[in-house]
A and B are shown apart, each in its own frame.
Chain A
Amino acid sequence: MSIMGAINPVLTAGLDGDKSWRLQDYMARGGYAMLKKVLAEQIPAETIVAAIKASVLRGRGGAGFPTGLKWSFMPHSLSGDKYIVCNTDEGEPGTFKDRDLIHYNPHAVIEGMAIGAYAIGANRGYNYIHGEIWELYKRFEEALDEARNAGFIGQSILGSDFSFELFAHHGYGAYICGEETALLESIEGKKGQPRFKPPFPASFGLYGRPTTVNNTETLASIPFIMQMGGEAFLNLGKPNNGGTKLFSVSGHVNRPGNYELPMGTPFATLMEMCGGMRGGRKLKAVIPGGSSSPVVPAETIMKCTLDYDSISKAGSMLGSGAVIVMDETVCMVKALEQLSRFYHEESCGQCTPCREGTGWLYDIVHRIEAGEGRAGDLEILLRISENIAGRTVCALGDAAAMPVESFVRHFRDEFMYHIEHKTCLVPKEAQWAGSDFYCAEA
């Protein structure tokens, strides 16, 4: 189990291993009680949306947009097909929380989607699952069969006049499909290229119909919010940062994995829960919200708390809660080279600044790393970044630009050393010592 720890858990409470994903187990934990209640008491949709608004649940996929507000954009008076789509296309480097929700608690996602569909007036839903986690796509389909057989999805659910069909759709290797409009294009059977917005999905979504796209963790939180009430969920966290959240910790800690923590938990507490730094080495920097979020030096991040506002004040983003931990053996030029290659590979090619610019960024970082950097390269890097950010249809351009700007700002001396001395500031033989690859056996 890679849910490694928790404080006041909600999403991961009572998960004890390999059977917890089954319907029977979920129901024994109180699962589907909220869907039953909503349908039996015919709770008005506005009441549900109000509860979600009160919980200050913010989108867990990375953007942090208030979920209740997003739901309220759906046009209730419009008849015809409407959709709710779950985004489990989890491919932001560092993020691996949704895969564990599907692994251990898929019915919470299904119940959340059913309640969400009821609240926004959707009659059909899809869960778009990252192609690389094929075994979990299969598991989700099995969970769907269980829910369908038990009458929790399908026609006239539990004898009510609410019908909701739900299916799983898999990706097949495209980071960009995590962007919600690229994801919709992909479900439509096309290349995953983001759409220009507006119109937003709430007015023109899947097949041109009103659609709401929410992250897996967001939707899995819904039944629990309904159960405890919006304010109780908010109070688990701190003002403007409701509830608990999953944090995926990767990199140089002793116990990488997922941790469910109340919003506002000190970063230092998370580090302790992770067993501290591998090999007792020194923390150098942290990318706190997935690879697209700006890097934060050790001394700054250690003073932060884990919530949208604190991380934002530190010049970065809480994003998806993917905490990438780097120790003193990491060469920051090499680290940025790997990220820049990724964005170049994954640019969908639609917008010129991103398609060309990400390639230029990679080329320059690569030549600095290879000892062929030139005076003035850093200025060129920053200028290209500035010219990508904000000039593309979707946020991938910004995602490629933000690491560059922050790496150069915080670790300029390392980049300069590379350019001037044609080699790393961190001795080559010491690099990646933290990976432990060759000594992990012991």
Chain B
Amino acid sequence: MFTPETLQKFDREIAKYPAEHQCSAVMACLALAQEEIGWLPPEAIEAVAHYLAMPPIAAYEVATFYSMYDLKPVGKYKLTVCTNLPCALSGGVHAATYLKEKLGIGFNETTPDGKFTLVEGECMGSCGYAPVMLVNNRRMCGHMTPTAIDALLEECQS
């Protein structure tokens, strides 16, 4: 179900751990699977489990425990905004409200064109750069003032 490139990345992760503990790579492989597919359908979780020779239920446990795995389809751009206290003091909640108004959606919703999903995140360990948001689990954006948010949304539209 995965491309040869993704499988190669799986192998690179597996090689980090002692041979008898290859299921240590499950977190990384699930993240790579999500990167390829855009979210984690049950078949992908099972395929990862199969690849690592671990019971599918064990891979499900991991996929459902950690919040950055998407168990439902998300928009092309998933924007995770931190609203925790340190961020909120520097505009985190305002930034989330601004995004909700701009995109016309609430948390855990996707725009009708399938472009954006908005998620409320917890501490990303970057409070000094607040307001912070994460794009597709990969790119951290800091100092997200209205102008910076506008620029980010425009970049995603083009």
Contact = CB atoms under 8 A, between A and B. Distances in A.
A251 to B, nearest CB: 4
Contact of B58 (A134, A190, A435): A190
Interface string A70-93: 000000000001000000001111
Interface string A304-334: 0000000000000000001011100010000
A96 B123 CA distance: 10
Interface residues of A, number: 66
Please tell me the size bucket of the interface on B.
35 or more
B18 interface: yes
A346 B66 CA distance: 10
B89 interface: yes
Contact of B123 (A175, A187, A441): A175
Contact of A173 (B67, B91, B145): B67
Contacts of A322: 86, 127
A188 B24 contact: yes
A324 B89 contact: yes
Interface string A130-163: 1111110000000000000000000000000000
B86 A250 contact: yes
A440 B145 contact: yes
Interface in B22-48: 23-28, 30-31
A24 B62 CA distance: 39
Nearest to B28: A170
Contacts of A95: 123, 125, 127
B128 A258 contact: yes
A315 to B, nearest CB: 19
A324 B94 CA distance: 18
22 contacts: A2-B129, A93-B84, A93-B123, A99-B126, A132-B68, A132-B121, A169-B24, A170-B27, A170-B31, A173-B68, A174-B66, A192-B66, A250-B89, A256-B128, A324-B85, A342-B84, A342-B123, A432-B89, A436-B90, A437-B91, A437-B95, A437-B98
Interface of B: 16-18, 21, 23-28, 30-31, 52, 54, 58, 61-62, 65-69, 83-91, 93-95, 98, 121-131, 134, 137-140, 143, 145-147
What are the 3 tightest A-B residue pairs by CB atom distance, in nearest-first order?
Answer: A437-B91, A173-B67, A173-B68
